[in-house]
Amino acid sequence: MNVDLELYRVFYMVAKNKHMTKASEELHISQPAISQSIKKLEEQLGGTLFLRSNKGMELTKEGEMFYEYVKGALELIHNAENEFTSFKDLSKGEIKIGCSTTLTKLILMDTLKEFHKDYPNISINITNDLTNNLINDLKVGKLDFVIFNESNIKETNLNIEKIKELKQGFIYNPDYYIDSIKSFDELNNVPLILQKEESNSRKLLDYIALKNNVRLLPKMEVVSQELITEFTNIGLGVGFSIIDLAKRNFNNLKELNINKMIPNINISLATNKSVSLTYASKMFIKYLKK
């Protein structure tokens, strides 16, 4: 049987008010239209729902049973509509973001502060991990979007767009080192502190070095750029980091002149083409692009 939800609404209002006139006023439709709707519903069901009398509309035994089910169903629909509205007006919702610890600090922090001020009831969950792991989570729907630095990721089922540029380069603490580096091959003359080879930052650096016919040999390999700035600051070597991060953490750190040969990195945002973004995620991305 094809279900006409409007017939159920009419039935519910008549049963609740026990009168067509009151139902007509609440539904803003004529009494003849209500009478026709009840008749059509009874024909579809193959039974009588109301006993009509001078007192109004009284439910039959079958009608009473039917009313309880319809009442519950319409209340569920009403609750669902209210819930959907709360997500749409951002009084409720959740955002699941994938991002490195470094980019969380440099890219997300200000946006998080502004967005939370305007929409305090939105739950924001941030997963920090390697880009490849985050992209895999995005592809299976565990994340709404991923923010990552420049890489060779070319997934046909993802939308990827550039949202920002950041300066990167070699940093050192002048209390322990001086800038005597004139070329890429001289970088191996100092103890280098780099991220691990699987990180996007390291892959890009290795690519730039190879273009200059150099294979870099780090003294230390660490997981995060935060650790690079920490270790560089205490004099363990010369680190490779996003410059904004290094100077935010330690304003005494200096750049090598060779950084002039190193291009800025692109910061990208990836979404899954197969998954519709929530209202909250769409709004957050708007804030992010301001």
The model's pLDDT over 193-244, given as tens digits with 9 standing for 90+, comes to 999 998 888 988 999 999 999 999 999 999 889 999 999 999 999 999 999 9
CA distances from 141 to 138, 154, 161 (A): 5, 18, 19
Residue in the block written with tokens 């009084």:
91
Domains in the chain and their CATH numbers? 5-88 (1.10.10.10), 93-165+267-288 (3.40.190.10), 168-263 (3.40.190.10)
Which range in 69-73, 109-113, 276-280 is most confidently predicted, on average pLDDT? 109-113
pLDDT class of 278 with cuts at 50, 70, 90: confident
Average pLDDT, the chain: 89
The alpha-helical segments, DSSP class H, found in 58-128 are 61-88, 101-103, 109-118
Mean pLDDT over 148-167 rounds to 83
Pairwise pLDDT comparison (256 vs 93), residue with the higher score: 256
pLDDT at 52: 82
pLDDT at 173: 97
Is the pLDDT at 134 greater than 90, yes or no?
yes
Burial 77-116 (b: 16+ CB within 10 A, else e): eeeeeeeeeeeeebebbebbbbbbbbbbbbbbeebbeebe
Which range in 188-192, 198-202, 276-280 is most confidently predicted, on average pLDDT? 188-192
Residue in the block written with tokens 């519910």:
12
**Residue 280: CB partners within 8 Å, gap ≥ 6?**
87, 90, 93, 94, 95, 119, 122
**Residue 253: CB partners within 8 Å, gap ≥ 6?**
171, 172, 173, 229, 232, 233, 246, 247
Is the pLDDT at 15 greater than 70, yes or no?
yes
Look at residue 237 and give its three-state secondary structure.
Answer: coil
**Whole-model pTM above 0.75?**
no
The alpha-helical segments, DSSP class H, found in 46-193 are 61-88, 101-103, 109-118, 131-139
Is the pLDDT at 82 greater than 70, yes or no?
no
